[in-house]
Amino acid sequence: MMWHRDTPFALGGSGRAHLQVEGLSAGYGAFLVLRELTLEVRPGLTVVLGPNGAGKTTLLKALNGLIRRGGGVLLDGVDLPETTHQVVQAGVALVPEGRQLFPQMSVTENLELGAWLASRAERARRLEQAFADFPKLRERAQQLAGTMSGGEQQMVAVARAMMSAPRLLMLDEPSLGLAPRMVDELLAIVRRIADAGTTVLMVEQNVKKALAVADRGYVMERGTLVASGPAKLLARSSVIREAYLGAGQEPATGTTTAADAAHRRKAALAA
């Protein structure tokens, strides 16, 4: 069964938000990761590519108010606030790396947490809409999130972010650890969310597949941008072909267990 119907995703805002990032710097303590980054996220789907440690997650954390940043960030011409609470209120939602669901809570409870700023009645309305947008989650409404497959959990994480009715949805490596078919389905959903009017900024390591669904892309290395452009052109560019040749190919087993293990180690170190 597919995860979605042919109806557009009605949860997101339809403001076609436009994010402008000007001279952004951010890091951890004295360790500066991002140096004077300038980029824009236009309505549609923008992807940020780059190797491990390039600073992709750091970019999303800085935009989301999880770490301090310098430089300017404008959402539709208005300064984006610096605290996560206010960033969510401004209409920006993040699907974090590793999903970060509450494993002992049901699908419904996890989804409801995505609408914590909304009134009770509005939360109920959005939950109904989330189940309409992701019919399979309705069947699993009472299942504990921790007992779901990786792909199912990623769908819950995306649906939870959409519960805040964002104008800008940010996703951090949503395909990590998923089987190829699930990656395709997930990216199709992300594409449809963008088509329905929520601007999307997605960080990915699956270069080939990400560029196939995106409108525009940036390539980041060591905290700076080394290439940008329309996704179709970027896919044919020498910077992508030389640096990432084969990077978008699927592992023979259909899973990325090694990547998952590396990710868990990194999460443990960061904790």
Ligand X SMILES: Nc1ncnc2c1ncn2[C@@H]1O[C@H](COP(=O)(O)OP(=O)(O)OP(=O)(O)O)[C@@H](O)[C@H]1O
Chain residues binding ligand X by CB under 6 A are: 28, 31, 33, 50, 52-58, 205, 270
Indicate the residue among 58 and 206 with the shorter CB distance to ligand X: 58
CB of 97 to ligand X, least distance (A): 6
Indicate the residue among 52 and 104 with the shorter CB distance to ligand X: 52
Helix (H) or strand (E) holding 217: strand 216-221
CB of 58 to ligand X, least distance (A): 3
CB of 186 to ligand X, least distance (A): 17
Indicate the residue among 111 and 178 with the shorter CB distance to ligand X: 178
Residue 105 and residue 75: Cα distance in Å, rounded? Answer: 33
CB of 180 to ligand X, least distance (A): 19
CA-wise closest residue to 225 among 71, 55, 75: 55
Number of helical (H) and strand (E) elements in the chain, helices listed first:
11, 10
Tokens linked to 3: 């995860």
Indicate the residue among 27 and 114 with the shorter CB distance to ligand X: 27
CB of 47 to ligand X, least distance (A): 13
Residue 167 CB-half CA count within 13 A? 16
For 253, residues 6+ apart whose C-beta sits below 8 A from its C-beta are none
Residue 3 CB-half CA count within 13 A? 24
Q: At residue 171, what are phi and psi to the nearest 5 degrees?
A: -125, 130
CB of 156 to ligand X, least distance (A): 21
Residue 27 and residue 40: Cα distance in Å, rounded? Answer: 20
Q: Do β-strands 78-79 and 92-95 pair in parallel, antiparallel, or remain unpaired? A: unpaired
